[in-house]
């Protein structure tokens, strides 16, 4: 194995790149497998052949991109089996026309700046299109404070105050304890009920179900969207959302 790597600059560079990405522990393990690859020898080789690193990085990026695109294509083909679940909101975690002809499902995290940047587009869509319904799916992926915020948002939904809490927390900034408490107060939540509800099995299961849906739909971050039966990824302004809604209507 060592000899093959030393004869193949690309393979050597690939191994080095993977080790760099995984950290010092992986690099030590790599060296334990291939004791002939001493640090000075690697350094010397790479100094003499630096051109192999960009090539290896390009190949790795191309491979990962292809794998991600394949996963997205598979998710898009299979979305119909999840559509009913996706479009059913948790309690009051929705906005717009309850009988709307197009449903926009938004997977969001309160610590996500791109989610915050998408809010004006959602508000404009709701103001201009009376046939749209927004279903919010709590998708906390950016740390424990995101989870706390998501749980309380669903508790707010049970009190019919989801949008009030949702808007107040995004306006407040990062989902830290102070901002979450301030948003809850501004939304007029019953603090005791909300605290108890946020720890309920129902809310725990809802967040777990959303994470499962995200996995099945190849979501790697927030915001992610399902409009009609189409998956979208990343921040969207009004024009982007309106175009997706128009496409969904045209496909009915």
Q: Per residue in 32-55, pLDDT tens?
A: 444 444 456 666 766 777 776 677
Q: Which helix (H) or strand (E) holds 73?
A: helix 52-78
> How many Å apart are CA 231 and CA 224, to the nearest integer?
8
Compute the CA torsion angle 166, 167, 173, 179 (nearest 10 deg). -60
| Cα–Cα nearest to 16, from 47, 55, 56 | 56
Average pLDDT by stretches of 10, the chain with 252 residues: 39 46 44 49 70 70 61 68 95 97 98 97 98 98 97 98 98 97 98 96 98 91 93 95 96 78
CATH architecture observed for domain 88-250: 3-Layer(aba) Sandwich (3.40)
Q: Per residue in 95-129, pLDDT tens?
A: 999 999 999 999 999 999 999 999 999 999 999 99
> 136: which strand partners?
106
| Cα–Cα nearest to 46, from 14, 18, 21 | 14
**Domain limits, the chain:** 2-76, 88-250
DSSP 122-145: HHHHHHH-TTEEEEEEE---S-HH
């Amino acid at each position: 194995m060592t000899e093959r790597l030393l004869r193949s600059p690309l393979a050597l560079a690939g191994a080095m790149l993977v080790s760099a990405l995984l950290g010092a522990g992986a690099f030590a393990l790599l060296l334990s497998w291939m004791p002939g690859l001493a640090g000075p020898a690697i350094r010397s080789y790479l100094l003499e052949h630096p051109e192999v690193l960009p090539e290896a990085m390009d190949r790795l990026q191309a491979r990962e991109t292809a794998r991600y695109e394949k996963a997205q294509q598979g998710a898009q083909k299979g979305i119909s089996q999840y559509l009913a679940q996706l479009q059913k909101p948790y309690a009051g975690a929705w906005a717009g026309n309850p009988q709307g002809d197009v449903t926009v499902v938004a997977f969001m995290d309160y610590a996500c700046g791109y989610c915050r940047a998408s809010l004006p587009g959602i508000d404009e869509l709701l103001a201009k299109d009376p046939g749209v319904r927004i279903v919010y799916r709590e998708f906390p992926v950016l740390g424990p404070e995101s989870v706390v915020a998501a749980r309380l948002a669903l508790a707010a939904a049970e009190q019919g105050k989801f949008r009030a809490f949702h808007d107040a927390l995004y306006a407040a900034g990062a989902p830290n304890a102070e901002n979450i408490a301030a948003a809850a107060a501004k939304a007029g939540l019953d603090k005791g009920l909300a605290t108890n509800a946020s720890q309920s099995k129902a809310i725990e299961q809802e967040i777990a179900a959303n994470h499962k849906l995200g996995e099945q739909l190849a979501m790697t971050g927030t915001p992610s969207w399902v409009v009609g039966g189409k998956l979208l990824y990343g921040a969207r302004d009004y024009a982007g959302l309106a175009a997706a809604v128009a496409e969904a209507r045209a496909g009915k």
